[in-house]
Amino acid sequence: MKTCFVRLTALLALGLSPALAATLVGYAELPADTFAAGPASGAYNGQGVRGAARFPSQPVQGFSGVQAAKDGSYVFLSDNGYGAKANSADFLLRMYRLNLTAKNGPTGKGEVKVGNFIQLRDPDRKVPWLIVNGASADRLLTGADFDVEGFVVAPDGTLWVGDEFGPYLLHFSADGKLLDAPIATPNLVGLPTLKGQAPIVVGHRGSSGTRPEHTLESYRMAIEGGADFVEPDLVVTKDGVLVARHEPVMASVDKDGKVLEATTDVATRPEFKDRLTTKKLDGVDVRGYFVEDFTLAELKTLRAVERLPALRGKNYDGKFEVPTLAEVIALVKDVEAKTGRKVGIYPETKHPTYFRQMGVNTSQLLIDTLKKEGFTNPDRVFIQSFETANLKDLKASIMPKAGVSLPLVQLVSSPDEAPYDWTAQGDTRKYGALTTDAALKDIAAYASGVGAYKRWIITDQGETTDFVARAHAAGLMVHPWTFRNEATYLLPAYANDPEAEMRQALRAGVDGFFTDFPATGANVVRAYTAPEVRSPQNPAFATGTSSSAANLGGSGGFEGVALSPSGKTLYALLEKTVTGDVAGQLRLHAFDLASRTWTLAGRYTLEDAGNAIGDLTPVNATEYLVLERDNGSGDTAKFKRVYKVSTSEKNADGTLKKTLVVDLMNVKDPQGLAPSTRSGTFTFPYVTIENVLVLDANTILVANDNNYPGTGGRGADVKDHTEFLWLKLDAPLNLAEGVGRK
Ligand code: G3P
Ligand code: CA
């Protein structure tokens, strides 16, 4: 007794609940090979190629949803057939009435009788795309049309079914006729950007991950990849023309003449060897070839080379010129003329103090060039700088005098660096001084945003900071840099997935980001901002009508649907995480049956991001049972549980509170009701468990989905049956009136 008390105390001290062990009080099973009338099926393979039918009629199982019928029987929904769209075109979608008799004593006998069925069908042609039996009059629905995973019976007797292919909600009459067009799933998450606007993708130096940076070809690739803006860094030629280079130095060399870094082939040109010189650039001696020592005509004889050849290769060296700002503007205008797309330009005046010391005001030159080229639409330009004084000058003087007003962006580099205009004046502060709440407020007086080094937003431990929230509070947009696909630039937590880093930044609320791979960035933003949640099986992809990629994994749709005890709200829980959401968090939707409007009821957190949910059923107005399981079966099954989730109580991170109700891998069976029970303990090691229903305050019904003709739950070569469990809970549920079997 004392030992037990100590163990319990220790568990509670660790914040853990002691393992629950519900009791099996009833058991029945339905043999795997159970068939109902209907056409032969199982003729299609995983590629959708038709062969010989494996079964003479329709398999009854596996089951993906259950409701109690008034006459004491149960209605079970059959899953989509053989596990995939391609192989399930001859599996008819049905609900079967089952009469269950539990074995509830050592000598009793469990029994399952399959009664009549409801055939789901679309005779009124509500489905607007091609379905398998589209040409027939009754248009019987198949497992290639929808993947049905749960259902409820509304107060008016109609049936609402959750699907995975859309995912959709499907509305049927009581006898299975589709009443409405499939209802798509809206992407309900409001964008956490400054004003809820879509984040922008800035092609950093163009598409510099795939072409030599700051060439027209690099910008063109960025635009083709979906960049909203292209970024030219700007320096000045000897004859006063703004050209795109990251640095004034086009090739830096060491004291022995060895090239350290180059963005052009100038160091290989004997005709320019006299231009090799050493200059002080922002207080540092730099030896090399400088743009300001070349006329535009001379510069145009050079060719761009890859800055990072060891990482990105030299395939495009020698092919492209150094472009002028005017040529970059001409490129985006040409794109607009040909396609209608209004791509913006995000220029950065490089080293303003350095050029100012030469007598060149690059900010003035930039505004003059934009005006001359007719590119002053504030929706299509952001002007950025790592210094502060030039931006203030632009805001207070240069732009007003020129009659233009363009948004400015204060760049904020790493904490060990400083704006050079400060350093040049003896101010020893670093960039951190621009990140306080007061400093952000000051920035907002002259700029519309901050272009922040990304570690201000996501630390090198992968943690999201409060930087974006604080910048937003000051009214500033946030455009971090630089997102790169190569593994060498990614934190270990991203597991070599550059999209994971971009998604974390989007979740943090950034208003856009600079990336060397804008095609990747645009893909991530498209999925993040898509108006609908769509699985890869959504018909929009087959018909080519979707402008974005799938933002939900396959088999990730409405696995759990439940009706509130009031009968007014249908709750629909996704099985997988929507792209961009925190891994392991599942959206719980509330669908108002009267107004047919959706809201986000909350987020359910899986115990492990690799888990999945199997069903959802009501307890009362704010509590619902959820089946959660791992992907193991038989000996590899470890986690099969029933949780109770609250729609009214939230954890500190805003997710819904949940509590363990039953551990299906540890059920007491003192009477030995189930044939698999060993030493009084029953386990339920099926890969998918998709049926749960509250019978009374102390008892729930649970059944697996046997994925007919799947095996593995009770042995590698044993066809899985459907097992029906009556489980007595350790603690009673707080049932609402009307929930449970009378
Ligand atoms: O300008 C912001 C972004 O481009 C990062 O800076 O050094 O690549 O010009 P940088
Ligand atoms: Ca830049």
- The full set of domain ranges for the chain reads 20-187+535-728, 200-247+300-529
DSSP state of 493: G
Q: How far apart are CA 724 and CA 617, in angstroms?
A: 16
pLDDT value at position 305?
98
Query: Which helix or strand (DSSP H or E) is residue 185 part of?
Result: strand 183-186
Q: How far apart are CA 719 and CA 709, in angstroms?
A: 6
Listed as own residue / partner, the contacts of 204-207 with beta carbons closer than 8 Å and 24 or more positions apart are 204/231, 204/481, 204/482, 204/483, 204/514, 204/515, 204/516, 204/518, 205/231, 205/232, 205/233, 205/246, 205/516, 206/230, 206/231, 207/516, 207/517, 207/518, 207/519
- Torsion 389-391-395-397 (CA) sign: positive
Report the pLDDT averaged over residues 136-155. 98
Which of 5-9, 248-252, 550-554 is least confident?
Answer: 5-9
Instruction: Take atom 5 of ligand 1 and give the residue whose Cα is closest.
Output: 481
Identify the bridge partners of residue 294 per DSSP, sorted by sequence position: none
Q: How far apart are CA 459 and CA 505, in angstroms?
A: 11
pLDDT value at position 741?
85
pLDDT value at position 510?
98
Instruction: Take atom 1 of ligand 1 and give the residue whose Cα is closest.
Output: 348
Phi-psi domain of 200 (left: phi exceeds 0; alpha: psi -120 through 50; beta: other): beta
Which of 180-194, 215-229, 377-391, 440-454 is least confident?
Answer: 180-194
3 state DSSP class of 407: coil
Report the pLDDT averaged over residues 442-467. 98
Q: Would you tell me how many other CB atoms lie within 10 Å of the CB of residue 281?
A: 18
Average pLDDT, rounded, for the chain: 95
Is position 214 annotated as part of the catalytic site? no
Six-digit token string for 406: 């363009």
Alpha helical stretches, state H, 517-602: 518-529, 539-542
Identify the bridge partners of residue 152 per DSSP, sorted by sequence position: 160
Q: Would you place residue 527 in the very low, low, confident or very high pLDDT band (cuts 50, 70, 90)?
A: confident
* Bigger pLDDT: 379 vs 5: 379
Q: How far apart are CA 353 and CA 391, in angstroms?
A: 12
231 Cβ inside 6 Å of ligand 1: yes
Six-digit token string for 685: 């090691």
348 Cβ inside 6 Å of ligand 1: yes
Angle between helices 325-339 and 362-372 (to 10 degrees): 30
Six-digit token string for 601: 């009821």
Out of 171, 246, 479, 721, pick the active-site residue: 246
Per-residue pLDDT tens over the stretch 558-579: 999 999 999 999 999 999 999 8
Q: Which of 560, 558, 552, 687 is nearest to 614 (CA)?
A: 560
Ligand 2: distance of its center to the CA of 411 in Å? 9
Per-residue pLDDT tens over the stretch 617-660: 999 999 999 999 999 999 999 999 999 999 999 999 899 999 99
Identify the bridge partners of residue 108 per DSSP, sorted by sequence position: none
CB 577 within 8 A of CB 549: no
CB 728 within 8 A of CB 22: yes
pLDDT value at position 14?
39
Distances (CA, A) of 421 to 144, 348, 355, 363: 65, 15, 12, 14
CB 279 within 8 A of CB 238: no
Identify the bridge partners of residue 702 per DSSP, sorted by sequence position: 692, 725
Report the pLDDT averaged over residues 272-280. 98
Q: How far apart are CA 687 and CA 629, in angstroms?
A: 7
CB 296 within 8 A of CB 243: yes
Six-digit token string for 417: 């660096």
Cα Rg of the chain (Å, integer): 32
Six-digit token string for 258: 């060895």
At residue 6, does pLDDT exceed 90?
A: no
Report the pLDDT averaged over residues 336-355. 98
Which CATH number is associated with domain 20-187+535-728? 2.120.10
Which of 259-263, 603-607, 737-741 is least confident?
Answer: 737-741
pLDDT value at position 385?
98
Six-digit token string for 618: 């009501």
Six-digit token string for 635: 């000996």
Six-digit token string for 366: 């930039």
Q: SS3 for 157-224, per residue?
A: CCEEEEECCCCEEEEECCCCEECCCCEEEECCCCCCCCCCCCCEEEECCCCCCCCCCCCHHHHHHHHH
Ligand 2: distance of its center to the CA of 234 in Å? 9
b/e 36-65 (16+ beta carbons within 10 angstroms → b):
bebeebbbbeeeeeeeeeebeebbbbbbbb
Task: Tell me how far the alpha carbon of residue 168 is from its chain's centroid.
Answer: 18
Pairing mode, strands 558-563 and 667-668: unpaired
In this prediction the pTM is 0.79
3 state DSSP class of 516: coil
62 Cβ inside 6 Å of ligand 1: no
b/e 468-490 (16+ beta carbons within 10 angstroms → b):
bebbbebbbbbbbbbbbbeeebb
Q: Would you place residue 118 in the very low, low, confident or very high pLDDT band (cuts 50, 70, 90)?
A: very high
At residue 666, does pLDDT exceed 50?
A: yes
Q: What angle do CA 211, 321, 233 make, to 5 degrees?
A: 70
Query: Which helix or strand (DSSP H or E) is residue 10 part of?
Result: helix 2-13
Is position 589 annotated as part of the catalytic site? no
Residue to substitute in 200, 207, 231 for testing ligand 1 pocket (most ligand atoms within 8 angstroms of CB):
231
Ligand 1: distance of its center to the CA of 381 in Å? 16
CB 634 within 8 A of CB 715: yes
Identify the bridge partners of residue 160 per DSSP, sorted by sequence position: 152, 171
Six-digit token string for 667: 């059920």
pLDDT value at position 684?
98
CB 192 within 8 A of CB 186: no
Instruction: Take atom 6 of ligand 1 and give the residue whose Cα is closest.
Output: 481
Instruction: Take atom 3 of ligand 1 and give the residue whose Cα is closest.
Output: 481
- Torsion 164-168-173-177 (CA) sign: negative
Report the pLDDT averaged over residues 9-30. 68
DSSP state of 604: E
pLDDT value at position 101?
97
DSSP state of 496: T
Which residues, including other chains, have CB under 8 Å from residue 692's CB and lie 6 or more apart? 66, 614, 615, 616, 617, 625, 627, 642, 700, 701, 702
Q: Would you place residue 12 in the very low, low, confident or very high pLDDT band (cuts 50, 70, 90)?
A: very low
Q: Would you place residue 189 in the very low, low, confident or very high pLDDT band (cuts 50, 70, 90)?
A: confident
481 Cβ inside 6 Å of ligand 1: yes
DSSP state of 534: -
CB 588 within 8 A of CB 603: yes
Per-residue pLDDT tens over the stretch 312-333: 999 999 999 999 999 999 999 9
Six-digit token string for 552: 């939900």
Which residues, including other chains, have CB under 8 Å from residue 396's CB and lie 6 or more apart? 446
233 Cβ inside 6 Å of ligand 1: yes
Assigned fold of 200-247+300-529: TIM Barrel (3.20.20)
514 Cβ inside 6 Å of ligand 1: yes
Residue to substitute in 218, 229, 233 for testing ligand 1 pocket (most ligand atoms within 8 angstroms of CB):
233
Side-chain half-sphere of 377: how many Cα atoms within 13 Å? 10
- Give yes or no for a cis peptide into 143 (omega within 30° of 0): no
409 Cβ inside 6 Å of ligand 1: no
pLDDT value at position 742?
65
Do 200-247+300-529 and 20-187+535-728 have the same topology in CATH?
A: no
Q: Which atom of ligand 1 is nearest to the CA of 451?
A: 2
At residue 222, does pLDDT exceed 90?
A: yes
Instruction: Take atom 10 of ligand 1 and give the residue whose Cα is closest.
Output: 246
Six-digit token string for 147: 């993947």
Q: Would you place residue 19 in the very low, low, confident or very high pLDDT band (cuts 50, 70, 90)?
A: low
Q: Which atom of ligand 1 is nearest to the CA of 348?
A: 1
- In the chain, DSSP finds a helix count (H) and a strand count (E) of 15, 40
